[in-house]
Structure 1
Amino acid sequence: MSKIYVLDTNVLLQDPYSIYSFEENEVVIPAVVLEEVDSKKRNLDEVGRNARQVSKLIDHLRQSGKLHEKITLHNGGSLRIELNHKSFQQLQEIFVEKTNDNRILAVAKNLSLEEEAKEQGKQVILVSKDTLVRVKADALGLIAEDFLNDRVVEIDHIYSGFFEVYISKEAMDKYYEKGELLVADIVNHPFYPNQFLIMKDSLGGRASAIGIVDRDGKKVKRLVFDQERVWGIKSRNVQQMMAMELLLRDDLPLVTMIGKAGTGKTLLALAAALMQTEDLGKYKKLFVARPIVPVGKDIGFLPGEKEEKLRPWMQPIYDNLEFLFNTKKPGELDAILAGISSIEVEALTYIRGRSIPEQFIIIDEAQNLTKHEVKTILTRVGERSKIVLMGDPEQIDHPYLDEHNNGLTYVVEKFKDQSISGHVKLIKGERSTLAQLAANIL
């Protein structure tokens, strides 16, 4: 039996095409939702873009018939704008205020009562990304669900970039001797291109090795840069060793890294970028950027020129540069950077419309990017450039994103089977014992 799905505003603002996600069921958009969407369409951010997209989509569907009566969608379902069922009679004893959320709840409740009165009435389900709206729906006896179609993957199942496998002593000796093994000789299991393998002795011996699957997914080969010291930085753990391999490889224009605070993502990326830009001359410029999303309450407009305004947002980048350049005095880093024109620290606000060839690009805090924003960034990458996206999906400050649907997770999952990209999840914190403990228990 088909169902009726009543959509909250936040579902449409999260995914303008969400109306096509409910198969051959009926989708209902309360009139108050259109009002809320209309109030957001002048915003200059991602929410405003989605609001405008929803408006255009609904206007296009209007050509198929009267929206308040019901029109058929191309996926077999149907859509209608609900103008009736606004009565507050069923809510007035529980939720007195006539807020927009309560108006949406009233529509869902009245529709549900109408369907219950029918002999073969449909099940009415309210879909909202707002937790409290779903809690209110439960109090009213309504079925309420989160919109899960925008989730890329469950956070526990996100691709780690490495796999632990047990092999025979003979296979381990062969790997040490030749520096490579056929995947088919190790295990009957397919691997992604550029996925790392942590190989251990199947008999419980102490021998172990790290390898990387080739672009064709057929061979496991020895790492090239596993012991490389880069600008005074050397890998402290297995995952950092993997990260350095990806960062220094010329054949991987896209690298993604995820990990908790203090695992060394930014420091490793900057060290590898500086060596390849300043020392080896592989790239003409180092371009570092991060999204401007505040943690906690925004402090408002900042005084000064663009560089002065950006300094507080980019301070984590400058902190790592001070460490790499081994600066001792205040202002010393600024003097160094003034003499090195090949380093550019910028906000992502200004990246649209640019083409960035022959540059090493680092995008920090990429978990605060939407799918659309991360697509915009990756399509800016020019020939002979390398881009590194990194962040912690569990530390998101963007109000409309979570660990399941952010741009960083999206790229990790979509590119894991591509031969031109590599990924690793950093696990162990190296900042300090306190930082590691705080990342684990808080």
Structure 2
Amino acid sequence: MAKKSKKIFVLDTNVILHDFHCIYKFQENDIVIPIVALEELDHFKKGNEIINYHAREFVRELDKIAGDKLFNGGLLLGKGLGKLRIETGKPIPPEMKDSFSESTPDHRILAITIHLAKNNPNTPVILVTKDINLRMKAKSLGVLAQDYLNDKVEDIDSLKKEVEVIEKVNDSLIQKLYSSDEPLTAKELKIKPYANQYFILKGSKSSALAHYDKATDILDRVEKVRAYGIDPRNAEQTFALDALLRPEIQLVALTGKAGTGKTLLALAAALQQEEYFEQILLARPIVALSNKDIGYLPGDIDEKISPYMQPLFDNLGVIKNRFKPTSKDYMHIEEMQRTQKLIITPLAYIRGRSLSNVFFIVDEAQNLTPHEIKTIITRAGEGTKFVFTGDIHQIDHPYLDMKSNGLTYLTDRMHGQEIFAHINLVKGERSYLAELASDLL
């Protein structure tokens, strides 16, 4: 068997900020960190966002393995891994000067990559960056460039087909779902479902919605239920509420385009079950315009974050408006907000808090990285239920796409686990106008 030839991967700063363990993800190949990247990391070390945490952790990791060899031939990262070295700045080559006049950090990293390629003619030198523009610039100069592929999901089409429709089911089998005498098994339907899969069963005279319980190996009927004044309007919403209300399902992912009711259903389910939880947290990541920090916006901190949080308050308003202001349910929501039993806040403000016995809804989760999703979930204490909602087709994060965002990654990795359920909501329920605009524009 032919031995694989080593490659040299040059890492852009955004790769390190995306995954501070990235230097251990390139197998036997060598890793080069441009000195420019360390300079940029220095600007990110202070702050409470996840990228600030990654910057600090990566610098600490470098400190553990630091030595003169990092600047002299490289330091072996471990068994089966390549060498890591830091490359100092290089002159901008003439071919770059002709195309790019500015001496930006990106261009300095590109100059280092070109220098390495010229000095290692027999070894592929590849720039790894999550910046699409930088990849295009590199390729225009004949430099190999690629995205960071370690946490990308290859098959995203399967994530959209979680609900299965089974046609021509014998009506006698469907009737079993309506009777407690004899359960309906997967074997009778000649299917091999995974844990918490949902089905629409259609016979000649009857139909039913069903859920597969892996623990008992049977299908049970899913009924339309109301949650705090909110009624499901289609089969997918009915399935979503079912998963949200099942105590044995501790982790739920709701995907779908705008207007399908993801956040509204999650919040309604949380309020319906609030007596079983110490707190309901509804949060979303702040992805500022042009990837700038919100600090540049005018006003105090509440005024800065208000535009980002407003959609969450709008969803709460929809639920509150189902009741009269003098009703018990309306006043109960008001009381929960006053006593902080119900909190709506930016996701960054949750960091460091205890997450035991909490119903935690993370909205716009497609703007989180896989590592951010992992960081949130691994802090779950006893009795906590997580719900992640989002639209993988509407990503505001500059370095994420449909295959690399945290929501896609979570849904792919947790698929088939007994405590996890995923529902992809298809039909928009805001209005015909909103549905038409979502489909056509």
Classify the TM-score, shorter chain.
0.7 to 0.9
Read off the aligned partner of 1:440 and give its amino acid letter. Answer: D
- Indicate how the Cα distance of structure 1 residues 377 and 242 shifts in structure 2: closer, same or farther if over 3 A, else same: same
8 Å contact kept, 1:351–1:377: no
2:411 is matched with 412
* Counterpart Cα distance in 1 of 2:388 and 2:255: 8
The more displaced of 240-249 and 158-167 is: 158-167
Classify the secondary structure of the residue corresponding to 1:96. coil
8 Å contact kept, 1:167–1:186: no
Classify the secondary structure of the residue corresponding to 1:418. coil
The aligned runs of 1:37-436 (5 Å cut-off) are 37-63=41-67, 65-74=69-78, 75-83=80-88, 86=91, 88-116=93-121, 121-158=122-159, 160-166=161-167, 168-169=169-170, 172-173=173-174, 175-176=176-177, 178=179, 180-187=183-190, 189=192, 191-200=193-202, 205=204, 207-216=206-215, 218-223=217-222, 226-277=223-274, 281-294=275-288, 300-303=297-300, 311-326=306-321, 337-340=333-336, 341=339, 342-436=341-435
Read off the aligned partner of 1:143 and give its amino acid letter. Answer: L
Classify the secondary structure of the residue corresponding to 2:226. coil
8 Å contact kept, 2:18–2:371: no
Could you tell me how far 1:427 is from its partner in structure 2?
A: 0.7
Classify the secondary structure of the residue corresponding to 1:262. coil
Per-residue Cα deviation, 1:176-234 (whole angstroms, up to 9, x for no partner): 46574322333353x32111123345xxx4654321111338322222xx222333322
* Counterpart Cα distance in 1 of 2:113 and 2:144: 9
8 Å contact kept, 1:254–1:422: yes
Could you tell me how far 1:401 is from its partner in structure 2?
A: 3.2
8 Å contact kept, 1:159–1:412: no
Could you tell me how far 1:375 is from its partner in structure 2?
A: 3.5
Classify the secondary structure of the residue corresponding to 1:236. coil
8 Å contact kept, 1:183–1:217: no
- Indicate how the Cα distance of structure 1 residues 141 and 196 shifts in structure 2: closer, same or farther if over 3 A, else same: same
8 Å contact kept, 1:291–1:368: yes
Could you tell me how far 1:81 is from its partner in structure 2?
A: 1.8
- Indicate how the Cα distance of structure 1 residues 90 and 114 shifts in structure 2: closer, same or farther if over 3 A, else same: farther
* Counterpart Cα distance in 2 of 1:30 and 1:311: 38
- Indicate how the Cα distance of structure 1 residues 114 and 385 shifts in structure 2: closer, same or farther if over 3 A, else same: closer
Q: What are structure 2's unaligned runs of at least 5 residues? A: none
* Counterpart Cα distance in 1 of 2:34 and 2:266: 48
Classify the secondary structure of the residue corresponding to 2:230. coil
Could you tell me how far 1:12 is from its partner in structure 2?
A: 1.8
Read off the aligned partner of 1:214 and give its amino acid letter. Answer: D
8 Å contact kept, 2:130–2:399: no
8 Å contact kept, 1:90–1:109: no
* Counterpart Cα distance in 2 of 1:65 and 1:419: 48
Could you tell me how far 1:122 is from its partner in structure 2?
A: 1.4
- Output the TM-score relative to the length of structure 2: 0.84
Could you tell me how far 1:31 is from its partner in structure 2?
A: 2.3
Read off the aligned partner of 2:185 and give its amino acid letter. Answer: L
Read off the aligned partner of 1:290 and give its amino acid letter. Answer: R
- Indicate how the Cα distance of structure 1 residues 173 and 356 shifts in structure 2: closer, same or farther if over 3 A, else same: closer
Between the aligned residues of both structures, percent identity stands at 41
* Counterpart Cα distance in 2 of 1:55 and 1:220: 51
* Counterpart Cα distance in 2 of 1:41 and 1:285: 32
Classify the secondary structure of the residue corresponding to 1:93. helix
Q: Does 1:16 align with 2:20?
A: yes
8 Å contact kept, 1:28–1:80: yes
The more displaced of 295-304 and 232-241 is: 295-304
* Counterpart Cα distance in 1 of 2:416 and 2:216: 10
Could you tell me how far 1:167 is from its partner in structure 2?
A: 5.8
* Counterpart Cα distance in 2 of 1:167 and 1:51: 56
- Indicate how the Cα distance of structure 1 residues 330 and 396 shifts in structure 2: closer, same or farther if over 3 A, else same: farther
The more displaced of 136-145 and 167-176 is: 167-176
The more displaced of 348-357 and 247-256 is: 348-357
* Counterpart Cα distance in 1 of 2:364 and 2:389: 6
* Counterpart Cα distance in 1 of 2:241 and 2:46: 44
Read off the aligned partner of 1:254 and give its amino acid letter. Answer: L
* Counterpart Cα distance in 1 of 2:330 and 2:174: 51
Classify the secondary structure of the residue corresponding to 2:276. coil
The more displaced of 150-159 and 17-26 is: 150-159
- Indicate how the Cα distance of structure 1 residues 167 and 217 shifts in structure 2: closer, same or farther if over 3 A, else same: farther
* Counterpart Cα distance in 1 of 2:130 and 2:307: 32
- Output the TM-score relative to the length of structure 1: 0.84
